[in-house]
Chain A
């Protein structure tokens, strides 16, 4: 499996102080086939053939790199998950499935996830427009040679009836330490709920928001166009949440500066001293360093370095960099060494 040395999401994008990344996901199914869960293996293979052989234009360099998941190692699958190129469900599934990735690793296409096609784009920072454009372009190119299941009433038909309609999921990964430390998170979550937005933790549904990273996405997919959905996100939802977070950070500086400084400097000291470091602890501490950089408390570390480290401390990425990280215990040693080295400069 060939992957880039570094994921493009470590770059610093627009509104990077709050917005980590922008993601678009389209759910599509091939007309005339049972959905993945009910299809036979022969039918699933047929779907794989049709999708991977569909002609693609110049925008995708003539084609994607297709990775047959049956031929990947558990560590390679974990690497794909850490880069958000495939879902955990897809990595753990046992049906014939493949993922297509473009040269920049900003577009990935899962074939035979819950739906026949899950087209995803991910870009660093607040760039939903661009992410949507690219996903939509792929959608259109495939649609010129393959029929998607569609009904005039429900729109694009999906295996789970709650995803019908435009089949578009718009999402941003936000860093919201200000709202958390000022105790405003609950108000924001309630407001998000009223706006039918889902707010999930770092590791997905129902999990704690490790490092105060939150994925915010639309719950509704029916009754409005994809353009309206995108406009609402780029012009209202995201700017509003960014403004709330920035206001909270200013409040924190004015009313509780010792708390802020304690979080930031304690994290920096721990990471520079630790000899054993788990991936969750590393994520939490790096997140506080990230806050410190944005608040101009840590002048000697760049935002890009922290973004890179946030990915490199994940188990599969760590094992790729340091061959000694063969199990959890050795990984903790390797992770601590990696972070100490990176922060020493």
Chain B
């Protein structure tokens, strides 16, 4: 359905009844915002498009100079790709794209910049276990593609036991 005021697709649909007279309202995001209607949440890709290499307000003086790398060193996701989809590749992307990600989160979360609340029970050693798991997974991937099935099986066992070594 099109917007009442232009050709863009309508995102807000309302039936208004005043004095027994029914009328329908269909508006695009822009016209809806103009008239003060609630618009569906802004997608991440749009948040990202709003600053093209500009200094995010969250950045510290040091991180201002450091431009985000073009790729996450852990999963290889390119920043350009993230810009397009709004979806990250791995937990490591949060560090890799730090100043930009921080600004996206701050905007999306109405200014909040840090977590409050529960943390995993087994937080101790979590980072080490995650790094080990990541390494084993990469080795497993190689073992499978090169058809080293015995090695793959032993890697799987080590992966399985990783969760229990606390």
User: B88 contacts A160, CB within 8 Å?
Assistant: yes
Kindly identify, within residues 219 to 253 of chain A, every residue whose CB is under 8 Å from any CB belonging to chain B.
219-228
Known: A38-B77, A221-B109. A32 touches B121 (CB 8 A): no
Contacts of A186 in B (CB 8 A): 14, 16, 36-37
Residue of B nearest to A29 (CB): B91
B117 to chain A, nearest CB (A): 3
B73 to chain A, nearest CB (A): 13
B161 to chain A, nearest CB (A): 11
The reply to whether the CB of A181 lies closer than 8 angstroms to some CB of chain B is yes
Residue among A162, A199, A221 with the most chain B CB within 10 A? Answer: A162
Which of B75, B86, B120 touches A147 (beta carbons < 8 Å)? B120
Residue among B36, B116, B134 with the most chain A CB within 10 A? Answer: B116
B17 to chain A, nearest CB (A): 5
Known: A114-B87, A222-B109, A256-B20. A33 touches B44 (CB 8 A): no
Contacts of B86 in A (CB 8 A): 160-161
User: A147 contacts B115, CB within 8 Å?
Assistant: no
The reply to whether the CB of A92 lies closer than 8 angstroms to some CB of chain B is no
| Size bracket, chain B contacts | 35 or more
Kindly identify, within residues 184 to 212 of chain A, every residue whose CB is under 8 Å from any CB belonging to chain B.
185-186, 189-190, 192-193, 196, 198-201, 205-209
Known: A148-B120, A162-B104, A225-B117. A189 touches B38 (CB 8 A): yes
User: B44 contacts A162, CB within 8 Å?
Assistant: yes
The reply to whether the CB of B126 lies closer than 8 angstroms to some CB of chain A is yes
User: B17 contacts A219, CB within 8 Å?
Assistant: no
B31 to chain A, nearest CB (A): 14
Which of A46, A152, A161 touches B88 (beta carbons < 8 Å)? A161
A261 and B126 alpha carbons, distance in the complex (Å): 61
User: B94 contacts A140, CB within 8 Å?
Assistant: no
The reply to whether the CB of B67 lies closer than 8 angstroms to some CB of chain A is no
A160 and B41 alpha carbons, distance in the complex (Å): 14
Kindly identify, within residues 15 to 60 of chain A, every residue whose CB is under 8 Å from any CB belonging to chain B.
29, 31-35, 37-38, 40, 42-43, 46, 50
Known: A31-B129, A222-B115, A224-B117. A206 touches B109 (CB 8 A): no
Contacts of A199 in B (CB 8 A): 38
Residue of B nearest to A200 (CB): B40
User: B13 contacts A183, CB within 8 Å?
Assistant: no
User: B133 contacts A31, CB within 8 Å?
Assistant: yes
Which of A33, A164, A219, A256 touches B105 (beta carbons < 8 Å)? A164
Contacts of A126 in B (CB 8 A): none
